[in-house]
Chains A and B, each alone.
Chain A
């Protein structure tokens, strides 16, 4: 009988709400109490260093290419020993959507995500982070990996002058 069922169904909600009143709320009181973030939480980006303390970034532009909102920009430069680096590196966190695609694109593990999410500012221009703000003094997630140790530093001397190396072929010349 629907009426009986309706009358029966009328009372349980009262018991549920009454019981809930004496349980501890699940709310996290944020500024006083920090939320427990998941291990792989994606927030502010940093530029890490390799185990030798050198910058990992080789300014390959892959992160800015992968970035869906185009918030990463940089200028590539080459040191005298042939090591590439970014002469300036800029991330606009006002645009960043914290998707982490840049970290997946990075071939040298230079750009990494941290769980520091408290970067709100009143002035959006202050959210434009320069290289000095982004660089950190540790290796981030991976303590061993060093790109140049795997690949070797680029060649500083002009081509053909290194030991056991022949002079480059002149491609305009037809002679073998």
Chain B
């Protein structure tokens, strides 16, 4: 009885901690992005709120909360109101299956450092990342504005074309790890990460998550200089904030997925597992920001061509080759 109680308390603490860490990471990622991008452009970035701008996320939050929550007269009210929530919720839910450390032993209890080790964790991730498309699609549709609609149409077609390549690029990982469970996939990379074993899959997945996160060079759904704000043009106040936070949580999640699937998760020498995981995720987040500072936006037809004519066939070929090699090795 006491054991069960301790277990319950530990799980609750873990839940709260993960929730807090993911949300604050998303908030500070915004600040980090603004500062790093600013340094790349020889500016300082936000440095007024708090020492070195460190409480800028709080200031932004207060600003967003106190702004008017405007709903356009012609908008579809119901859908307009739930779309931002969908976007943030699906992003948060995805973190449930991501293992961020080896199993801990506290008070004679085994505490796995993952919220829920689903045996089909990878499929759960793919399903939720597709659901995230609904936030975007409904938000753009319900706003009843041409810019929003164009943004969400672009977003949807982009998600469809790149999710295929993404799904196909993780098939070799599943074949190599012989499991859909993310914990098992990390365990299979104890000696050598899959990024080294199967670089093509790693590259395809990397490119696909750039499209999945709707960031430069694939930020067509919200291309500011073409579509005002894209699918969230009509949103204001905290509803826009939810879209924004959802986007950055999504960034954390996709970085974690890349870490788990290809970079060996928490495995690494000298440091404790959870630190390694953090380091890898933050490094990928930095890479995301770096790419945003360096590359221009692709044109729409270039994006589609690249997705369907390059990434898809490559991913299929990769599945075939990996399968053949695995079969040959027995």
Residues on A lying within 8 angstroms of B by beta carbon are 10, 13-14, 16-18, 20-21, 23-27, 29
- How far apart sit A24 and B44, CA to CA, in the bound complex (Å)? 9
Is B44 within 8 A of A21, CB to CB?
no
Nearest CB in chain B: distance from A3 CB, A: 10
Nearest CB in chain A: distance from B96 CB, A: 34
- Collect the chain B residues with CB atoms within 8 Å of residue A17's CB: 40, 290, 293-294
Is A14 within 8 A of B42, CB to CB?
no
Is B43 within 8 A of A21, CB to CB?
no
- Verify if B36 is at the interface (C-beta below 8 Å from A): yes
- Collect the chain B residues with CB atoms within 8 Å of residue A27's CB: 42-44
Given A25-B44, A29-B44, CB of A14 within 8 Å of CB of B294: yes
- Collect the chain B residues with CB atoms within 8 Å of residue A14's CB: 290-291, 294
- Verify if B1 is at the interface (C-beta below 8 Å from A): no
Is A25 within 8 A of B39, CB to CB?
yes
Given A27-B44, A29-B44, CB of A20 within 8 Å of CB of B39: yes
- Verify if B4 is at the interface (C-beta below 8 Å from A): no
- How far apart sit A167 and B5, CA to CA, in the bound complex (Å)? 120
- How far apart sit A39 and B63, CA to CA, in the bound complex (Å)? 40
- Collect the chain B residues with CB atoms within 8 Å of residue A29's CB: 44
Is A21 within 8 A of B39, CB to CB?
yes
Is A20 within 8 A of B42, CB to CB?
yes
- Verify if B38 is at the interface (C-beta below 8 Å from A): yes
- Chain B interface, >50% SS class: helix
Q: Which bucket holds chain B's interface residue count?
A: 10 to 19
Interface centre among A13, A17, A27 (most CB of B within 10 A): A17
Report B288-317 CB contacts with A as 1/0, cut-off 8 Å.
001101110000000000000000000000
- Collect the chain B residues with CB atoms within 8 Å of residue A18's CB: 40, 290
- How far apart sit A24 and B41, CA to CA, in the bound complex (Å)? 10
- Collect the chain A residues with CB atoms within 8 Å of residue B38's CB: 25
- Collect the chain B residues with CB atoms within 8 Å of residue A26's CB: 42-43
Residue of A nearest to B40 (CB): A17
Report B36-77 CB contacts with A as 1/0, cut-off 8 Å.
101111111000000000000000000000000000000000
- How far apart sit A25 and B36, CA to CA, in the bound complex (Å)? 12
- How far apart sit A26 and B43, CA to CA, in the bound complex (Å)? 6
- Collect the chain A residues with CB atoms within 8 Å of residue B40's CB: 17-18, 20-21
Given contacts A23-B42, A25-B39, list 10 more A-B pairs with CB under 8 A. A13-B294, A14-B291, A14-B294, A16-B294, A20-B39, A25-B38, A25-B44, A26-B43, A27-B43, A29-B44
- Collect the chain B residues with CB atoms within 8 Å of residue A20's CB: 39-42
Residues of chain B in range 16-51 having any CB-CB distance to chain A below 8 Å? 36, 38-44
Residue of B nearest to A31 (CB): B48
Nearest CB in chain A: distance from B3 CB, A: 51
- How far apart sit A30 and B43, CA to CA, in the bound complex (Å)? 13
- How far apart sit A21 and B41, CA to CA, in the bound complex (Å)? 8
The 5 closest A-B pairs by CB, nearest first: A13-B294, A17-B40, A17-B293, A17-B294, A21-B39
- How far apart sit A23 and B42, CA to CA, in the bound complex (Å)? 7
Is B293 within 8 A of A25, CB to CB?
no
Q: Which of A10, A13, A25 contacts B42 (CB 8 A)?
A: A25
Is B43 within 8 A of A25, CB to CB?
yes
Residue of B nearest to A29 (CB): B44
Given A27-B44, A29-B44, CB of A21 within 8 Å of CB of B294: no
